[in-house]
Every structure is written in structure tokens, then in C-alpha cells.
Structure 1
Amino acid sequence: MNPLEERMGYKFRNGLLLAEALTHPSISLERKNYPFDNQRLEFLGDAVIQLVVTEHLYRLYPDFSEGQMTKLRTRIVSRPALKAHAVLMDLGRYLMMGRGEEASGGRERASTLADAFESVVGAIYLDGGFDAARNFVLRETLDDFERIAKNPEEVNPKGTLQEILQAIEPCAPAYEVIEQTGPDHSKRFVSKVIWSEIELGRGEGLSKKQAQVAAASDALDRQLWLRKDKRSGTAASV
């Protein structure tokens, strides 16, 4: 095993899959006809992680609703969480990338590291099958599951949403009151949360703060930021 495989606890039978997982798309800008990059493995690994975490939450919390499990899954598979796993594995050190990308801080970039972690999961899945990928993901996310087991209800949806979004693009979500109803002593507010020109969610409450929290919770349920995060270039390069 090489040092990275030792850290991962997995020995690849096909070393080319690991090499592909560690190849940033920027390499093709400087090396024409380079045979691969990690974007396809990232796509696959993202799906594998989602399935593994979803199944584990389903078994771990038999009394939780779909909405509750969705919020927990969002915390575990968020960009900051995946980046943290990549940092612990020192994945940035092993990435193959273009000189320009490296000079601009690519080895420490949150989205690059999160993408690399997803790619590694995809590579393990192809090399060793679902059980191998599942064991790896659960081993890496064990602390996350233990942490949310102590606090399964999200107490700060606005903070969680901002953390997720700023790991994709460095601009904070904005909240806007779009409706007020009722008399002064019993008003109800409806707010929406907007980020990067996308309306992510809406919520209502007896105060502006309650409405903002409800809007953030709605955004965490709907995960509409994924549409931007998976588009070519823009958010993924942050």
C-alpha cells in the first residue's frame, strides 16, 4: 500500500482508478489529450455517498420522518463536511492539477477537496464494489453520525445553510420579507432566502426571525443549491 491507501484503509486492485480520482480537470488545460480527470468519478461517488448515508440514517432513526432525515443527511454530505474528510486524508497533497489552478490555491479549495473525496468514493466503488465503498464512507463519517446522534435536531438552520453555501461560492444568502399579514399585535411574516440569484426556500413565522429560520429550514430540505453546484465551471471552481 502507498501512504494514501494506508490512510484510506483500502488497497486498490486497479491503481489507475485512484489516479483518475486524484486528477483535477484543470490538468487538461495544460496537457492536451490527457486521458482522464475525476469529474465522472465525482458524479458516481456523490451518488454512492448519498445512498450510503441515506440507508444508514434510515436504519439509525426508525422513527424519523423524511424531512428530518433529509436535514441530517444534508449536514453529513455538505461541502464543508466532505472537505473536512479530504483534509484529514491529506487529499490535496496528492491531487494532480494544472499549475494555474495550484497557484490560485486549488489544493486547499473547499469544492476541489470535496470533489476529490467524492471521486475517491466512486473509485473505490468501481474497484471493490458497493460493500467496500460503504465501509469506507461509514468509517470516514462515523464521527459525524455520532455528533448528530447527540443533537439530531438542527438548532441553527441559518448557520448550517450559510456554511454549506459559502463553501460553494463566497457570498452569503440574503433574506427578504415578502408578505406581512394580521394586526400589529399578531403579525405573521413570510420570508424567502436568496443566494446567487436563486430562491432557495420560503418560510413563515410570528416574527421576521422566525420566518427567516423557517425559510432556511425549507432551503435545507429542498437543496436547490445543488443545481448551481453541479453546473459547469462557475460554483465548482470556487
Structure 2
Amino acid sequence: MPLPGESMRAVMDTIGYAFRDESLLSVALTHSSWVNEQGGGALRHNERLEFLGDAVFELLVTERLFTLFPDAREGDLTRLRSSLVSTVSFAAIARRIGLADSLRMGRGEEQQGGRDRDPLLADALEAVLGAVYLDGGLPAARGVVGRLFEDRWPAAAIMPVKKDYKTRLQECTQRLKGASRGLPVYAQAEPSGEEHAPHFTAEVTLPDGRRFTGEGQSRRASEQMAARQALEALGALDERADAQEKTAVLRGSKKSGIYHFPGCRCYNAAGNDVEFRSKEEAEKKGFRPCRVCSPR
């Protein structure tokens, strides 16, 4: 049973891509809870497309950052990518383009607030990109990613980027010697919990064989928590840096509707009269990033 045409047209208009095979988009917008309530059978949901879209996002964001910042080091590019390819980032984009209004989900999921859950929104955005890739190939997907992230490329260059736990752990293990040196390996257990609130558990194995687990509401979050446990065991967890990151704020002007990152020339402007803890919070309240301070 395809989605209503107006729902799919709204998504196509927003992302700037017209599907040749609209059934792909219909599947991308269908949550597993809806299929389960319909009895399953031959009906399809978006989890496979989400898996594909995740990989396409990572490739194309990496490609774009590589081109935009030719002098950036590998570690800096990795951290920039982590700030863009994340559940929080994808969910913020999904909210901005109104993707939740076009999703098809079960009543239970709906009643549990599924349309406003970050992991569900992020998964749906990934599924839509996976569908675009299957329908139009890499050029079509590249165009969609460019439009979705249009206001985020310059912001990424200005914003001080947090080194996430996975990045820190990788850097840490590569500095070690002997059998302890190498890359950590991540594995996922089967999700548990209710369908509307899945619970994920990840395990990271260090080069020396030690293993650590982490839990979260998304695969990414659980892997980050596993990496954090490993860092703590290695004595490499910088709690002071974490505390400083949590207190960093963005500043904006209610009159202009623009927000600024620490380091922007306009950050201390007299007209700034509101503060945010994250760019997602700012954008959820209708603010947009400063372009005046963006690199040319």
C-alpha cells in the first residue's frame, strides 16, 4: 500500500529530487511499526534503506569536506564529519524539512511520540537518501546531500568540533605500543526493548583483546558509550575537556534570527540577546547560522 501522493510530493519538493520509482520513497517513509501493525507479509519498511543511506551519507559528506577544506588534517576532517554525520544532526535536518509529517508509523509508535524521536527521524532521513541513491545513483544523492547540508558546511568550518569518544579512542590506541596498538573494532548486539523505544548495546574490542560495552537509544550512541568505557579504562578520558564542551554556548539575535559560534567575528556583537547550548537547539527554535562570518 503506497503512501498518499501528497506526502511523497512534499518530500520530493523539499529535497529537490523527483523520484522515477516512487515506491522507493514510499518504503523509505514507512517505519517498521506500521508494517508490524498491518501484519507484515510482503509489506516493506525502511530499515534496509536506512542501512544504505547511512553509508551514502558518510561517503558524500566525507567527499564534500575533503573538497571544502584542502588544508585540513585527517583528524580534523574526521571530527568535522562526526559533527555532521550524527543522529542529532540528521534529526535536526529532518525536523527542518518537516519529514516527520510524511512518515507512516504504527499507532503505538505515534502515541509514544515517535514523530519527535531523534533516532527515528535520523533513520528516516538516511532511508530517504538510500532511496535517492537507488533511484538516481550517486549524482542524485550528491545533489540532495548538498542541499540538505547547505547551511551547515560553513558552520562546520567555524564551530569548535568536539572529539567524540570513538575518535579519541582510535587516536589513543594508535599511540600505544606493542600488542595494544591498532584500531578498535565495534560490534552490535540485537536491539532490545519496546519497538517504539529500542535499546542498543555495542561492544568495542581493543587490539590487546580487552572488551567494553556501551548502551544507548541508537547504534551510534551505544558505540560512543562503549568507546567512553574503554577510554576510562585506559586512563585517557579527559573529564575537564568534556565539562568545557558542555558549557560552550552559541549566541544569537532574536531580531535577525541568526546565531553565531564561538570564534565568529559577530559572536560578541551587541545585538545578541539569546544563548543556545547547541546548533540543534538554535535551529529547532527557528534560528539560522551566521553567513557573514563564514569562510569565503
Normalized against structure 2, the TM-score is what?
A: 0.55
Q: CA shift at 1:6, angstroms? A: 1.2
Q: CA shift at 1:150, angstroms? A: 2.3
Amino acid in the other structure paired with 1:78: S
Aligned pairs (5 A) from 1:117-136 = 117-136=125-144
CA contact (8 A) 2:65 2:77 kept: yes
Is 1:28 the counterpart of 2:39? The answer is: no
Q: Deviations over 1:64-113 (max 9, x none)?
A: 22211110000011111100111112111111111101110011111010
| 2:289 counterpart residue number | none
Normalized against structure 1, the TM-score is what?
A: 0.68
2-structure distance, mates of 1:69, 1:208: 23
Q: CA shift at 1:4, angstroms? A: 2.2
Q: Deviations over 1:47-77 (max 9, x none)?
A: 0000000011111122222211110000011
CA contact (8 A) 2:57 2:85 kept: yes
| 1:71 counterpart residue number | 79
Q: CA shift at 1:198, angstroms? A: 2.3
| 2:154 counterpart residue number | 146
Which stretch shows the higher mean deviation, 123-132 or 28-37?
28-37
Q: 2:90 aligns with which of 82, 97, 101?
A: 82
Q: Residue 67 and residue 42 in structure 1: after superposition, are their counterparts in 2 closer, same or farther (change >3 A)?
A: same
Structure 1, unmatched stretches of 5+, are: 162-167, 171-192, 215-238
1-structure distance, mates of 2:109, 2:82: 28
Structure 2, unmatched stretches of 5+, are: 1-7, 168-196, 200-211, 216-224, 246-296
| 1:112 counterpart residue number | 120
| 2:180 counterpart residue number | none
Q: Percent identity?
A: 40
Question: Which protein has the bigger helix share?
Answer: 1
Is 1:4 the counterpart of 2:11? The answer is: yes
Give the number of the structure with larger relative contact order, counting CA–CA contacts within 8 Å between residues 6 or more apart: 1
Aligned pairs (5 A) from 1:24-63 = 24-32=31-39, 33-63=41-71
Number of equivalenced pairs: 182
| 1:19 counterpart residue number | 26
Q: Residue 137 and residue 70 in structure 1: after superposition, are their counterparts in 2 closer, same or farther (change >3 A)?
A: same
